[in-house]
Chains A and B, each alone.
Chain A
Amino acid sequence: MENIQTPEIAIETKNLFIFYGSFAAVSEVNMKIEKQKVTAIIGPSGCGKSTLIRAFNRMNDFVPSSYVTGEILLQGQNLYGRDIDPVEVRRKIGMVFQKPNPFPKSIYENIAWGANINGFKGNMDELVEQSLRGAALWDEVKDKLKKSAYELSGGQQQRLCIARTIAIQPEIILMDEPASALDPISTLRIEELMQELKKNYTIIIVTHNMQQAARVSDYTAMMMLEKDGSRSGTVIEFSETKKIFTNPKDKRTEDYVTGRFG
């Protein structure tokens, strides 16, 4: 990592619209997401949080009829440029999903697989150990690496998914409500882990849980449906988490974070 003194931008959206057919699910998003910080996206259900986060690694490509206008820039390259390979994008921008989704393979293979398909040539045992340590899972699974990943608890599975993501050394890790299917203790461990991870990675997290956003994130983007009744979501306020929760500019943000929304 280079100079940390001036805030470095990891990824940036410029006038981003995401459509499903003719319906703009997300409109006009302009965000500069800082490197090695946790950026939370919060907002009520159905406001396009997941759609937005999935745009960052082109997961929306799998939804037929979805398309994007505007730009998402990673180191100056537009992820939606004509000559961009989505497979390469996803190698640089990893993702952890709402429900833990380990592969039906052993714990070891869950991590080795991604590294393998990404052309990893080094010492696989070492990589597996490092990744598991990085996801704070090593001590719990070091004696059963050959066991199926399905034998782990939900929280462990989710940390395994984080481990397999960091094994391919992405620039950015997207987390789409990573703790919403987990119990409070597992949630806490994931949150602690995020603080560790941001030393090396840029993290973008979608969460329903405002306390979680307040606890883990450095920046928060507040999403809300447009006022014009188009059912299209947009970022209405984006700034430091502290400001969003203590001194929001937008009345709607204030209503939402204080629980007076709707």
Chain B
Amino acid sequence: MKQENTIMENQLFRPLDLKKKIRPGESVIQALLFIAGFLSIFITLAIVYELGKEAWLFFGNPDVTFAKFFGTTEWSPGIGKYGIWPLVTSTLITSTIAIFVSLPLGLAVALFLSEYASPKARSALKPILEILAGIPTVVYGYFALLFMTPLLQSIFGKQTVEVYNMASAGLVMGIMILPLISSMSEDALSAVPRALREGAYAMGATKFETSIQVVLPAALSGIGAALIIGISRAVGETMIVAIAAGSGPNFTFNPFKAAETMTGHIARISGGDLSYNSIDYTSLFAIALMLFLVTLILNLISQGIINKFRQRYE
């Protein structure tokens, strides 16, 4: 041992020098990472600024007041109706339906893949989910209109279910989000240490008890992240609702009725003939700002819920 040490000292190590060294690679990487971080924040702020600037023009219109914007329930800026609520409620309704479809289903798929499936079943199922994630939303839109709506009509009757309705758009949106939720949740579940599962099994827990009561709570923060992204995706989804949920703002809480969402409205109006600085034009930015706000609030709420659980469970 003694001899080996002297050999290593003599041949491998430089003479003692503790002075600061310049490491260009480190600085370059650090600078690149900083630029990347800065850019993403800067772009976000730039978008908010642009939205805010145009929305400012809308709210600067003497005819538009916050009281009208938040206090009335009819939206038609061209004829002086400035109530945002019909667009917000339909967005919330379609998104809620989508989350109610995709969260339980996505979690079930994730649990199956991470806890139950044999490697064989997993390798067969995952590509199918990825295909689901790769379908263009316009296809989903027509799927909602031409498959889901007739299906709902055959169940609930043609009188109840309108041709364009929020339910079919929401349900199909749920299917669209499903792979996102399931694959993110599966990652979170798989990341739960094996030791935790073994601990549960060693207590005489069944597979189901282990999965639901030990693995799932331990993966909650990752599943929460999946939920947040799922919500953002649902709120921001445009094509499906534009095709299947109906055109024209409609203040209703009946999911079988047609009602235009914020995104659907922006898509339709901006596709038409618009003159710059008209009230219709600036109103779109107000809606976009509202959309931004709704997403932000929903994210904060879900983040809050997750944090509450995380504090309790970790």
A residues near B, CB below 8 A? 57, 59, 62, 64, 87-88, 90-92, 94-95, 97, 99, 101-106, 113-114, 117-118, 148, 150, 161, 164-165, 168
Contacts and interface: CB of A to CB of B under 8 A. Distances in A.
Given A97-B195, A101-B195, A148-B312, A168 B201 contact: no
Nearest to B314: A104
A117 B209 CA distance: 8
A168 B313 CA distance: 22
A105 B314 CA distance: 7
B202 A90 contact: yes
A59 B204 contact: no
A90 B204 contact: yes
A148 B314 contact: yes
A90 B196 contact: no
Contact of A62 (B119, B198, B203): B198
A117 B205 contact: yes
Contact of B204 (A87, A102, A105, A161): A87
B204 A103 contact: no
Given A117-B204, A148-B313, A148-B314, A161 B199 contact: yes
A94 B202 contact: yes
Interface string B186-220: 00000001011011111111100100011001100
Nearest to A174: B202
Range of interface residues on B (Cβ < 8 Å): 20 to 34
Contact of B198 (A59, A87, A148, A168): A59
Given A113-B213, A148-B313, A150-B314, A101 B196 contact: yes
Contacts, number: 72
A102 B196 CA distance: 7
Contacts of B196: 101, 103-104
Interface string B214-233: 10011000000000000000
A200 B147 CA distance: 65
B203 A59 contact: no
Given A97-B202, A104-B196, 12 more contacts: A88-B204, A90-B202, A90-B205, A91-B204, A101-B199, A102-B199, A104-B217, A104-B313, A113-B214, A117-B204, A117-B205, A168-B203
30 contacts: A59-B198, A59-B201, A64-B119, A87-B206, A90-B201, A90-B202, A90-B203, A90-B205, A91-B203, A92-B204, A94-B202, A94-B203, A95-B198, A97-B202, A101-B199, A103-B200, A103-B218, A104-B196, A104-B218, A104-B313, A105-B217, A105-B313, A106-B312, A113-B203, A117-B209, A117-B213, A118-B204, A148-B313, A165-B202, A168-B203
Nearest to A92: B204
A260 B209 CA distance: 47
A101 B314 contact: no
Interface string B110-152: 0000000001000000000000000000000000000000000
B309 to A, nearest CB: 10
Given A148-B312, A150-B314, A57 B214 contact: no
Nearest first, the 6 A-B pairs at minimum CB distance are A91-B204, A95-B202, A114-B203, A101-B195, A101-B199, A90-B204
Contact of A97 (B198, B205, B209): B198
Contacts of A64: 119
A106 B309 CA distance: 12
A106 B314 CA distance: 9
Contacts of B206: 87, 117
A114 B313 contact: no
A116 B119 CA distance: 32
A103 B214 contact: yes
Contacts of B195: 97, 99, 101
A103 B212 CA distance: 13
Contacts of A92: 204
A197 to B, nearest CB: 16
Nearest to A105: B313
Nearest to A89: B204
A161 B198 CA distance: 12
Nearest to B203: A114
A50 to B, nearest CB: 12
